[in-house]
Amino acid sequence: MKKVKVKLRSDGSYQDVLITSEDKPKIPEEMKKSWQNIANLIAVFAKVRAGLIMEITEKAMRVFLMSDNESNPYQVGGNDYLCHGLYCETVIGTDDELSVVDARQLAAWKDNPDVDIAMISYFGLPLKWPDGEFFGTICVLDDQPMVLSEDQKLLLREFKASIEKDLALLVVKN
């Protein structure tokens, strides 16, 4: 099992978390296509600039898949190093969903690296393998203050559950 340290910007602490180990299967192309549809749908239904599926690696949070809308400032494979207190780090470090309506208005979040590219609002959930290791997160970001409706949050939670079922199926098949 691999452990990495993440920073919880919410309180400034650090947390050791388990991430995808070497024995986990690779995500097959057909599954990636399904997840790509999820990334696109969450951006549309949340009415945001970016829908992302992020992967945690030993050194960084990496964009695994991104919504393909033109206004999305992220790129697949793009990453930011751990311990910067990224939104997704806090999601993984707390193993809980995170909602930031406007990072500019919150002392803990106003110098978050995503604010540098005007992504001031965030909602994300952790994605885990069945053994509890973290794959990453599913999240939406925008350049405007964002308050998601309960239906929009429910949709993201359902997509999280679907992706985690896919991860469990991969483990069973191997």
pLDDT in tens, 123-157: 999 999 999 999 999 999 999 999 999 999 999 99
Model pLDDT, residue 85: 86
What's the pTM?
0.95
- Average pLDDT for 75-94: 93
Model pLDDT, residue 52: 97
What is the spatial distance between Cα 122 and Cα 119, in angstroms, rounded to a whole number? 8
Query: Residue 33's domain spans which residues?
Result: 2-173
> CATH number of the domain that 149 lies in?
3.30.450.40
Model pLDDT, residue 173: 78
| 152 in Cβ contact with 72 (< 8 Å) | no
Name beta bridge partners: 81: 60
Domain count, the chain: 1
What is the spatial distance between Cα 148 and Cα 64, in angstroms, rounded to a whole number? 23
- Average pLDDT for 98-121: 94
Q: What stretch of H or E contains 54?
A: strand 50-56
Q: Give the model confidence (pLDDT) of 74-84 as tens digits.
A: 999 999 999 98
